[in-house]
Structure 1
Amino acid sequence: MSVDQAYNFKVIDEAVSTSGLLSEEQLSQLRTSGYEAVINLLPEHNQYALKNEEDIVTGQGVRYLYIPVDFAAPSERDYAEFVKAMTSCQGQKVLIHCAANYRVSAFYAMYAYEYLGWSASSAREHIESIWCPQENPPWHQFISTVLPSNG
């Protein structure tokens, strides 16, 4: 199974893709798929996390950045770390993932709105193409700290 068959996989542009869980087999194909960096937002204690993910990724010479985001309580500090990670990956092909692409879609849309010129409506459409944060009050509130509800 290839990287682009990962759960909720989405190509943003030629440099950035996002997804939910990847299998060990998919992780082991990152370098051959052209990826130079991985940003993982899934806490390693999560039931879906692969215990040896960092070793699989770095063993291929791919950068591994780990920002464990508690799904029940996303924080400004987590998002600030994500912004730093994205900045450090500029010019590299990067895959950003979590369990279902929920954390990632929200963080990436907020980042794209603040730093890449996406409109608020485009950013919200991106998130809602994957999940409905309105059904999860902590995320709805968190996203609203960056994305205006109209625009």
Structure 2
Amino acid sequence: MSEALAAIRQYRRLGEHLHSAGQPTAAQLDQLGEAGIGLVINLALTDSDHAVPDEAQRLQAQGIVYSHQPIDFDAPSRAHLDRLGQTLSAHAQTSTLVHCAYNMRVSAMLFMHRVRHLHIAPAVALPDLLALWTPTGPWRALIDEVLVEQGHSPLPPNG
């Protein structure tokens, strides 16, 4: 794993090509090309904590594809999950960093994506989610809905 990736807030490697994190600093964004990242998906709002205003330009200057898919933390939806899934599927062989402000939106969305599209058992994917936070409210509701649709039990009471 690249030291540049490991230094990003709340970084986690979730597979050969899939990485999640909180908001990289401007200097960390400038190192992503050298770290082998080919796609960055940003789920944070433009005014999220520590947002880098010229993130898209910094990445595009390195030849990295940038996709901004903002999710209001209080209103995650199936449409957000579907859009993220489509982008990840279209770039399945590309080393991808998905980030938000603190890796909370991302960890929840990627948990659902991994269960739904990559057919990873919830028990295998769950530790990566719970290492960062225990979803509540609309996040918990969406996760439970996706789990049940996929033939799994909802999240256990404490996670």
- TM (norm. structure 2) is 0.87
- Give 2:29's aligned residue: 27
**2:44 counterpart residue number:** 42
Cα drift, residue 130 of structure 1: 1.2
Q: 2:145 is matched by which residue type in structure 1?
A: T
The residue correspondences of 1:1-151 to structure 2 (distance < 5 A) are 2-133=4-135, 136-147=136-147, 148-149=153-154
Note closer, same or farther for the CA distance 1:3–1:124 as it changes in structure 2 (3 Å cut): closer
Aligned partner of residue 18 in structure 1, secondary structure: strand
Contact 2:8 2:21 in 1 (8 A): yes
Task: Read off the aligned partner of 1:72 and give its amino acid letter.
Answer: D
Structure 1 residue runs without a partner (length 5+): none
**Is the Cα contact below 8 Å between 2:25 and 2:50 reproduced in 1?**
no
Cα deviation 1:39-77 (Å, max 9, x = unaligned)? 110111324321111111111100001100110110111
- Segments of 5+ residues of structure 2 without an aligned counterpart are 148-152
- After alignment, is 113-122 or 54-63 more displaced? 113-122
Cross-structure match for 2:150? none
Identity among equivalent positions (%) equals 28
2:10/2:22 contact within 8 Å kept: yes
Count residues in correspondence. 149
Preserved CA contact (<8 Å) 1:121 1:150: no
Q: TM-score scaled to structure 1, two decimals?
A: 0.92
Report the CA distance between 1:107 and its aligned residue. Answer: 0.8
Question: How big is the alpha-carbon RMSD for the aligned residues of Structure 1 and Structure 2?
Answer: 1.6
Deviation at 1:149, TM superposition (A): 1.7
Kindly state the Cα deviation for residue 123 of structure 1 after the two structures are TM-superposed. 2.8
